């Protein structure tokens, strides 16, 4: 009956009810277009940045099994994790780094320095509203960069506008298919996955073709 009504079972898209429509409109119609114009004038590359963590006890994906018999996958049972930060550009670039402990202003600045050096051009970085992204440490660094590094923020509660979120969706899906027994293996496998993404600019560009991210694609 639901099928005849044009309905089908679907995975819903989650959006925060805390989003401010005016803030979203201001970002899409004014803030981001102004950043694009700035990039054209200065030769800067726009990057979207995000952080994530992966854990050994996070299980994703499915596998085949006999009906009525749930498959059992053996693992070590140990719990350990890894933290990462990545950046993607509309032209298909991707950079990443792993780190221990919590992200903070100093670590974020170091990532910005490395990203600027790797790019060889001024950079415009768009990140979420985590406190360290706008910390005094970051503000001092960007001010001292004399326009070489600009940091802007996405609207609050709007992660769907960040194409870099798709890096983690792909990376974690691939990691779920690997057998991980130790923290060193987790680090090695995750780095291999991220390097594989780096070598796939076409895939990175596809992250800018979703309904919520197409605004940031290269025209």
Q: Which domains does the chain have, with CATH numbers?
A: 42-57+79-216 (3.30.420.10)
Sheet of strand 123-127, all strands in order from the earlier edge strand to the far edge: 94-99, 81-88, 45-55, 123-127, 149-153
Q: Is the confidence at residue 60, as pLDDT, over 60?
A: no
Q: Is the confidence at residue 67, as pLDDT, over 90?
A: no
Q: What percent of the chain has pLDDT over 90?
A: 72
Q: Is the confidence at residue 59, as pLDDT, over 80?
A: no
Q: Is the confidence at residue 71, as pLDDT, over 90?
A: no
- The pTM for the full model equals 0.87
Between CA 121 and CA 17 the distance in angstroms is 38
Structure tokens at 69: 């018999």
Predicted confidence (pLDDT) per residue in 142-186, tens digit: 999 999 999 999 999 999 999 999 999 999 999 988 888 888 999
Q: Are 125 and 152 in contact (CB under 8 A)?
A: yes
Q: Is the confidence at residue 200, as pLDDT, over 90?
A: yes
Print burial letters for 35-60: b (CB count within 10 Å at least 16), e (below 16).
bbebbeeeebbbbbbbbbebebeeee
Whole-number pLDDT of residue 127: 98
Q: Is the confidence at residue 77, as pLDDT, over 90?
A: no
Q: What are phi and psi of 150, to 5 degrees?
A: -120, 135
């Amino acid at each position: 009956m639901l099928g005849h009504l044009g309905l089908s079972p679907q995975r819903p898209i989650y959006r925060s009810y805390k989003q401010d429509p005016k803030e979203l409109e201001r970002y899409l119609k004014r803030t981001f277009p102004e950043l694009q114009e700035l990039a054209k004038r200065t030769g800067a590359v726009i990057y979207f940045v995000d952080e994530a963590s992966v854990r050994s006890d996070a299980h994703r994906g499915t596998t085949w099994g006999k009906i009525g018999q749930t498959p059992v996958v053996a693992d070590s049972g140990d719990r350990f994790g890894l933290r990462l930060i990545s950046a993607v550009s509309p032209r298909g670039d991707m950079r990443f780094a792993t780190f221990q402990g919590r992200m903070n202003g100093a670590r974020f600045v170091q990532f910005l320095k490395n990203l600027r050096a790797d790019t060889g051009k001024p950079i415009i970085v768009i990140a979420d509203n985590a406190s360290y992204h706008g910390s005094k440490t970051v503000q001092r660094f960007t001010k001292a960069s004399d326009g070489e590094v600009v940091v802007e923020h996405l609207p609050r509660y709007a992660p769907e506008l960040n194409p870099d979120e798709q890096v983690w969706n792909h990376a974690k899906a691939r990691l779920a298919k690997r057998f991980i027994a130790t923290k060193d293996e987790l680090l090695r496998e995750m780095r291999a996955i991220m390097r594989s993404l780096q070598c796939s600019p076409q895939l990175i560009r596809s992250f800018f073709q979703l309904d919520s991210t197409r605004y940031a694609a290269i025209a």
